[in-house]
């Protein structure tokens, strides 16, 4: 009887392991698929490759509590905002992680909020103010002037700088404290 119970336990444990492995594989494959789909549907408007985005997601996984699949999902959402490109895009991802951590929200919500703000900086800062991000009148005027004079990337940089000032380091701090290092 004891041998049968051990064998049954082993079979159940093996089935659970296999099921969990399939689920993890599926999540990873879907996240990668969505990343590729977003790159293709936007015709690579961000100016970044699948390899570069995957490398960023993997690097951030080692520094935060967000796994690479969650980061790829946030990247996929941010890619839909086609006015966000290059360095602004890559700088936005850690800021999104910091904002989500500090605000206690998910990456998707933060990606959409930051994406809207960076995609249309003049309207975007108003939306960010509704969730508690502060911009001075001088900052708002400067951002508007930059957008109006075709310096949108600089305006986006100012928005990221303010978000970094308010939320910077939150995702890394969460990963370094409490049970974070074990996760």
pTM: 0.87
Taking the CA atoms of residue 115, residue 117, residue 122 and residue 128 in that order, the dihedral angle to the nearest 10 degrees is 160
Q: How far is CA 21 from CA 8, 16, 30, 66, 183, in A?
A: 20, 8, 14, 19, 18
Q: Rg (Cα) of the chain, in Å, rounded?
A: 20
Query: Where does 120-151 have alpha helices with state H?
Result: 121-130, 137-148
pLDDT tens, position by position, for the chain (183 residues)?
567 666 666 667 666 765 666 677 778 898 999 999 999 999 999 999 999 999 999 999 999 999 999 999 999 999 999 999 999 999 999 999 999 999 999 999 999 999 999 999 999 999 999 989 999 999 999 999 999 999 999 999 999 999 999 999 999 999 998 877 766
CB 96 within 8 A of CB 160: no
Task: Give the DSSP letter of residue 63.
Answer: T
pLDDT at 21: 66
Within a 10 A sphere around the Cβ of 98, how many other Cβ atoms? Answer: 23
Structure-token match 């939306």, residue found: 127
Residue 125 near residue 107, CB atoms below 8 Å: no
pLDDT for res 92: 98
Per-residue confidence (pLDDT) for residue 6, from 0 to 100? 64
The DSSP result for 104-123, as a single string, is T--HHHHHHHHHHHHHSHHH
- pLDDT for the residue 11: 65
């Amino acid at each position: 009887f004891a041998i049968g119970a051990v064998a049954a336990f082993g079979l159940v444990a093996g089935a659970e392991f296999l099921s969990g492995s399939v689920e993890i594989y599926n999540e990873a494959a879907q996240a990668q698929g969505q990343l590729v789909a977003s790159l293709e549907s936007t015709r690579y408007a961000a100016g970044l490759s699948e390899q570069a985005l995957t490398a960023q997601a993997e690097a951030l996984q080692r520094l935060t509590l967000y796994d690479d699949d969650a980061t790829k999902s946030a990247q996929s959402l941010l890619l839909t905002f086609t006015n966000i490109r290059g360095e602004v895009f890559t700088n936005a991802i850690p800021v999104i992680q910091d904002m989500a951590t500090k605000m206690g929200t998910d990456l998707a919500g933060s990606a959409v909020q930051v994406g809207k703000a960076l995609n249309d900086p003049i309207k975007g800062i108003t939306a960010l103010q509704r969730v508690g991000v502060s911009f001075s009148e001088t900052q708002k005027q400067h951002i508007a002037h930059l957008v109006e004079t075709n310096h949108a990337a600089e305006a986006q940089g100012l928005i990221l700088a303010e978000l970094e000032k308010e939320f910077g380091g939150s995702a890394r701090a969460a990963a370094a404290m409490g049970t974070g290092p074990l996760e």
